[in-house]
Each structure stands twice: as structure tokens, then as C-alpha cells.
Amino acid sequence: MNLLFRDVAGPCLAPRGSAVCIGAFDGVHRGHQAVLAQVRTNAQAHGLMPVAVSFAPIPRVFFARDDAVPQLSSTREKIALLRHAGMDRALLLRFGAKLAAMSAQDFVERVLVRRLRARHVLVGPGFRFGHARAGDLALLQQMGKVHGFEAAEVAPFALDGERVSSSRTRILLGAGDFDAAGRLLGRRFGIGGHVVRGAQLGRKLGYPTANLRLGTRVSPVAGVFAVKVHGVRDAAMPGVASLGTRPTVDGREVLLEAHLFDFDGDLYGKRIEVEFVQKLRAEEKFDGLDAMVKQIDLDAQAAREILGRSTTATAGALT
């Protein structure tokens, strides 16, 4: 992707015309990837620019207000995944009260026609848009006849007889089924970010951690996990991680803390990704630090065993 854009208003981003897909694209799972592949095919066949239109925050988060809505990807991760899927432009619209109040007709005219000069538009099954969700595929096709674009709905993408969706992926992750969730995503689930300084309690307890803040993002997983950490060395590094509020030390902010096995180095400011391999247990509050360290010892031992089996299985599959 060459450029990222955030606003409805502005010059045309595709003067020669575009092939467009519209959606929340949370997680950019295999169903989304199928849509993006079709957009790329349409663009190549007709000499158009492939463009993804999405939203930040996603509408589901905006309308939920104070209710926590787990998200499969951060905005940065979504942009990277769209780029990897072959999109030349991403129009990541700021979703707020103003955009929510925009009529479906205005959205078509201002975004698809003026901003993108759309010639082919693809949407997912049951796609609705505009104020009060009044817009649908029929409206897109009707307005397309006037403005010179075609609109179509892609068939649901299914694996093992079940439709691939962000909601189903969230449920699998919440249940700790990372293998099944990975099949839907087309990759292992992970959370990335820049390492920040913490209270350095882990180092004092013998378990220094690389800490990632989630900000406003709500994670679909919580607890203690066996993990692989990418971005430190060429190969992923094994470790154990906790994601939560750290109730034993009266924590408030949700933090992802990853301890890398057999590693001693300064990672502050470095961008890493923590891949979740297996859940060990839920987060809990201990009577004191000694009790917590005893449990961390057990967690680290369990994670080493799990990751050792995982490495052996992977090596066997490659031979």
C-alpha cells in the first residue's frame, strides 16, 4: 500500500478508477482475504487501483459505547494486513457521530464516486451501510447504474462447513482454541507493539518482561500463556506471558507482559509481536509475591514443555 487516507473529503485517490471493497476487516481473516483477492483480480483485469475502505474505530466499537468489544487486530496491524493482501490504497475513515449520520446515498456519492472513482465494488454477505443501516447491495447496484460502477456481494467463505467470521474467531480465541482460530485467520493470533518501561517488578522477581500496552484496544484473550515472541531475533523466541491487570500488585491498566526464556537484553522501544500458543490458566490474585512467584515457576515450566513439543512437532512435519 502506497498511502493511507483517513477522511471522506479530499481529492480523488484513483483518477483512473478503482476496484473497491468495504468492510470492518477486523483481523483480516481468510474470509476477508478472499474478498481482497477478488478486488485485486478485478483491478488487474480492468487496469484499476485496488482499494480497501474500512473504519477506525470499527462501527461495532463506536456503537457499543461503554461495552467492551474485543478486537482481533489493532489499526496498525489491519493496515499492514491490507497492504500484504495487495491493496494500493486504504481509506480508513474516522468513524464517529458525523459519519454515522451520513446517509447511504451520500456515502456512495462522496466516498465511492468522488473520492475513489469506483468502477467495481465488492461487499460481504448482508453488508449494510449509511445512517440507520439503510444502504444495502440493492442500493449500491441502483446507484452504480447512475454513476458507472458495478456492485456485487461475495459468497460466504467457509471452512469445514462453517462460515469464517470475526465473531467466530473471537469466540475461539476466548475459549483458548488458538489452533482453530489460526485456521480462520490464516495465521497464528498475536498482539504486537512497542516495548515500554514498566515497574520492573518482574526483573526483581527473576522474571524480567517485555511489556506492551494495549491502549483502548480490548483483547479477545486474557490470562497466562505459552508464547512465541517475534522481532527480537531472526527466529521466534519461546516464553511465557500474562495479559491482564495484575491484581496481585493492584494493577489497573491492561498490560501484556512477556518473559523470554534464556534472554537478557534491552528491548525498550523495540517493536515485537507476541504469538499465543496455548493458554495455561486464568489471571488470579495471590496472597503475596512469594505465592505468585511459585506459580510463575510452574507456568514457565509448563510453557517450556509445551513449546518444546511444538518445536519438535514442527521439525517433524518439515522432514
Give residue 160's pLDDT: 85
Longest CA–CA separation in the chain, Å: 71
Q: How far apart are CA 241 and CA 277, in angstroms?
A: 10
The per-residue pLDDT for range 36-78, each reduced to its tens digit, is: 999 999 999 999 999 999 999 888 888 887 678 899 999 999 9
Q: How far apart are CA 22 and CA 52, in angstroms?
A: 6
SS3 track for 223-248: EEEEEEEECCCCCCEEEEEEEECCHH
Q: Is the pLDDT of residue 261 over 50?
A: yes
Confidence of residue 215 (pLDDT cuts 50, 70, 90): confident
Domains contained in the chain, CATH given: 3-160 (3.40.50.620), 189-318 (2.40.30.30)
The per-residue pLDDT for range 121-170, each reduced to its tens digit, is: 999 888 999 999 999 999 999 999 999 999 999 988 999 888 999 999 99
Q: How far apart are CA 111 and CA 14, in angstroms?
A: 11
Long-range contacts of 94-103 (CB under 8 A, 24+ apart): 94/6, 94/7, 94/55, 94/56, 95/55, 95/56, 95/57, 95/58, 95/59, 95/62, 96/62, 99/8, 99/55, 100/59, 100/62, 100/63, 100/131, 101/131, 102/8, 102/130, 102/131, 103/130, 103/131, 103/134
Cα dihedral 119, 44, 137, 99 sign: negative
